[in-house]
Each structure stands twice: as C-alpha cells, then as structure tokens.
Structure 1
Amino acid sequence: MLENPINTLYPLNEVFQTIQGEGTYTGVPAIFIRLQGCPVGCPWCDTQHTWEQRAEDQVPLTAIVEKPAASSTWAQATATEIVALLQDKKYTAKHVVLTGGEPAMYDLLELCEVLESAGYRLQIETSGTFPLRVSPQTWVTLSPKVDMPGGLLVRADCMNRADEIKYPVAMEKHIDELDNLLKVCPPRAGVTIALQPISQRPRATELAIQTCIERNWRLSVQLHKYLHIE
C-alpha cells in the first residue's frame, strides 16, 4: 500500500464483472473499471458515451456499478474507495481491466498500486496517445489509433512499453497503417501483435484472418460481442 496516498479522484463511467473478450486474456474473468473521458474520436467507437465529462452527468459512486449500458453518467472515487467498492460487491475476479474512454489520460499509479496491494492483477487498454503512468507489473494492451479526428499521435514510448498490440482493421489501408507504425515506432522484441476486425464485419474478419496466417500474428475477435455479454 502507498505510504503517502495522494487520494487522486478518478472519473469512473462504470464498474462491472464479466469475461475479458479481447486479446491475450480472452476468456479470463475480469473486473472492468471504465474511466470517463476520451479526445481520440474513433468513428467506430462503441463507447462514445464516455467521451465527455459533463458536470450535469455526475452521479454518486454506487450509481455507476453495473448500470445500463451506454450511459454518460459518471462518478468520482479515490483508489481506496474503488477497492472498497469491488470488495463490497464481492466480485470474485482478480484480473482488473482499466479501460475507457482513454484511461491513460490520467495518472494511474496510485490506483494500480492500491489495487495490486489488494491482490489484483492489472491490465490497461489504451490508444497509446498519452504517456503511460501505470505500475511496472501492469499488462499494457495497446490499440494504436492512427489519423483519428482528435489528431493525437501514437507515442513511441507507448509502443515500446506494450505487452500486446491489438489493431482494429476493416480494409487493406489499415494493414498498411500498422506496417508504417511498426516501422516508425518499433515495439520491443517478442510483443504479441493481434488484428481485430472492426464491428465483426465479414470482409474485415476475412482480411484479418488472412493477414494473421501470412504473418504469424494473432486474431482477436471480440468474443464478448459474439456471446452477447458486456
């Protein structure tokens, strides 16, 4: 536990327990902590309700637990309050996914350390457009967003820190974008590269499968959407 906690307030959109449906940890029981706020602006984003942090949408902490999907309401909580909430809900999962929105907008070190001290393993899902302020043990799932409306660049330090690179694809130009990114900002040796078809479109899925076979990459298929779970 931190010797001198600074009691950072984190803006939370929702907290829920489910099965991780993407990437290396697919199939693992997980607690998702979704943070509010994102300036990246991906057109296909399925959590656009997390983009803005409007004062009129702020609610008490208990109101964002397992709430109806696609709600823009959010609450503030310290790391200690978040752990207490997970324990109060008696969640059994020990894998915690920090997602968003864009969670790397915030300094997450205190949250990571408090959660790890309570026995949780951490994973962050990020676009790589903000510096990563997480614990050394945190598994970094980087889904780099290139040429998005927000105009933010993928950071070389995020590419180098990633444990897996999970890239959304729908057409050949997305493969070309990834190739260029890997050339300009090479990841560290041995990192897992996975292609994820956007919105499970058949042509996107076919392209992803073909490319993964050709390059010995991994396919990520958003299992939770096929199973119709959150």
Structure 2
Amino acid sequence: MLENPISTLYPINEIFQTIQGEGVFTGVPAIFIRLQGCPVGCPWCDTQHTWEQRESDQVEATEVVEKQQPSSNWASMTADEMVKLIEAKGYTAKHVVITGGEPAMFNLIPLGQALEQKGYQLQIETSGTFAIQVTPSTWVTVSPKLDMPGGYLVRPDCMKRANEIKYPVAMQKHIEQFDKLLKACPPRAEAIIALQPISQRPRATELAIKVCIERNWRLSAQLHKYLKIE
C-alpha cells in the first residue's frame, strides 16, 4: 500500500542536479536531495553544515534549490512537494540520491514510493548507524563510520541490507577496523565493497588502490572533487 507522501515532512538542506561522483554509480547524472541533521560527527565530513537542525535556520523551499553556497538553512517539505519541485525544474536525471546529513534518521519509504511512481531510481547514502527505512528497490550505499565522536555503532541489519559498502580509509588501521566490522557484521554475498580515500590524500589513495587490487574490491575516488563540481 502506498504511504501518504503528503503527511511526511523532511528537512531539506539542498536539492540539485549533478553527476554522481562516488561508488557504483560514478558518472551517472543524478538529482541529489540532501537532508538536514546528523549526530555521527565524522571529523573529515565535508558537509558539517548539515549536522544541526535549528529552527532559526528554517527557510522557504525555494531557498534550498541549487544553493550557491553551503549553509545550514533547511526547508520542510513533503515527498509530494519534492517531486513537483523536481519536475518543475525540468531535471533530466532519473537517478535520485538521498544523502545528508544522515538520511536514515528519517522514514524514506513515502519519498521512495513517490519518486518511483514517477520513474526515478532511488539511492541512499548512509553511515549504517540508524535503521534503514526504504522501498525494496532502493539502492542502499552504506559508508560505515566507526569510532566517531557521536558514539553510534554500525548496525548489523544495515550492513546486511547494503547493496554497496563504501568505506573511507586513510591509513592501515582503518583497514584493520573494517576487517573486524566485516567479520562481526557480514554483508550479503553479492554486496559490492569499495574503498574511498579520505580527502584524496596520496597516502590514503595508494593504500586504497593496493588493498582493492589485493582483494578484488572497487576504488571510489570521489570523481566530483577532482572535477571540482558539487
């Protein structure tokens, strides 16, 4: 049964069209819907402006579409309103990425249903620290965040639901931590595993390439940062 997309409100930091720069869908035109709010606290996070959801930062929906500068401003929107806005903008991409912040803090089923009814393919990017509420056909990218300041643990059910596990690395200890996670919370056999160098540091990139070749994993190089696009 279709859930009511009108009654579910989402805090939207930003909506824009670009090229997906990470993971399996690298190079695919995509519409990004960035949600506001995340308590995980990753030190290297490049969207720290999405962490706090302050009432004083709430704005009209028109102010979060194709922002010129990152900000903590957010708008409250329903799934139906987002679909209408995307259609009004005339975006050509059919791949929609729900990111954040931490999108799994919210029930994404109504949003997924509303988008899929219009022919969009849905992907979410999550830290794996909150229960994932999405439609069955949603592509789930879990980017596990271990030992972060927020103190949240990666959930076994999130690892099992993941279609893709994209792990950020900078040094050997991160590989060791990831190995422990894979043993404690094994993913499904067909899940794609990728390593993503943190901040394009040469040492991190060299390590990620080396381990990906050794284990037949994939490399996620954050193409959008090399191209200097959002």
Name 1:96's counterpart in structure 2. 96
TM-score normalized by structure 2? Answer: 0.98
Aligned partner of residue 23 in structure 2, secondary structure:
coil
Name 1:112's counterpart in structure 2. 112
Q: Offset at 1:50?
A: 0.1
Name 2:18's counterpart in structure 1. 18
TM-score normalized by structure 1? Answer: 0.98
Q: Offset at 1:5?
A: 4.3
Whole-angstrom distance in 1 between the partners of 2:4 and 2:60:
26
Name 2:185's counterpart in structure 1. 185
Whole-angstrom distance in 1 between the partners of 2:59 and 2:149:
29
Name 1:53's counterpart in structure 2. 53
Deviations 1:2-55 (A, max 9, x none): 364451110000000000000000000000000000000000000000000011
Label 1:101 to 1:162 Cα distance change in 2 as closer, same or farther (>3 A). same
5 Å-filtered alignment, 1:1-230, equals 2=2, 4-5=4-5, 7-230=7-230
Please list every run of at least 4 consecutive aligned residues from structure 1 whose deviation after the TM superposition is greater than 2 angstroms. 1-6
Structure 2 unaligned blocks of 5 or more: none
Amino acid at match of 2:92: T
Whole-angstrom distance in 1 between the partners of 2:45 and 2:68:
18
Label 1:73 to 1:176 Cα distance change in 2 as closer, same or farther (>3 A). same
Aligned partner of residue 98 in structure 1, secondary structure:
strand
Aligned partner of residue 76 in structure 1, secondary structure:
strand
Amino acid at match of 2:212: C
Q: How many residues align?
A: 230
Deviations 1:186-208 (A, max 9, x none): 00102111000000000000000
Structure 1 unaligned blocks of 5 or more: none
Whole-angstrom distance in 2 between the partners of 1:17 and 1:51:
22
Whole-angstrom distance in 2 between the partners of 1:188 and 1:144:
15
Aligned partner of residue 154 in structure 1, secondary structure:
coil
Whole-angstrom distance in 1 between the partners of 2:3 and 2:179:
44
Deviations 1:174-222 (A, max 9, x none): 0001000000000010211100000000000000000101111100000
Q: Is the 8 A contact 2:104 2:131 kept in 1?
A: yes
Aligned partner of residue 66 in structure 1, secondary structure:
coil
Whole-angstrom distance in 2 between the partners of 1:210 and 1:2:
46
Label 1:190 to 1:75 Cα distance change in 2 as closer, same or farther (>3 A). same
Label 1:219 to 1:3 Cα distance change in 2 as closer, same or farther (>3 A). closer
Whole-angstrom distance in 2 between the partners of 1:227 and 1:175:
27
Amino acid at match of 1:48: Q
Amino acid at match of 1:50: T
Root-mean-square deviation (Å):
1.0
